[in-house]
Amino acid sequence: MDQPPRRLLVVEDDSDTLQLIVEVLEDEGFQVQPCRDGERALKLLEQGMFDLVLADIKMPRMTGTDLLFQIRLLGLDTKVILMTAYASLDTAVQALRGDASDYLIKPFTLKELRGRVRHACTCQTRLYDRANS
Question: Sorting pLDDT into bands at 50, 70 and 90, what band is 1?
Answer: very low
Q: Please, what is the angle between helix 110-131 and helix 15-27, to 10°?
A: 60
User: Which pLDDT value is given to residue 56?
Assistant: 97
- CA 27/CA 2 separation, integer angstroms: 18
For the stretch 109-130, pLDDT in tens is: 999 999 999 999 887 544 444 4
- The full length of the chain comes to 133
For the stretch 88-97, pLDDT in tens is: 888 888 887 8
29 to each of 5, 23, 32, 65, 115, how far by Cα in Å?
6, 10, 9, 27, 13
User: Which pLDDT value is given to residue 127?
Assistant: 42
Asked if the model's pLDDT at residue 131 lies above 50, the reply is no
Q: Considering the entire predicted model, what is its pTM?
A: 0.88
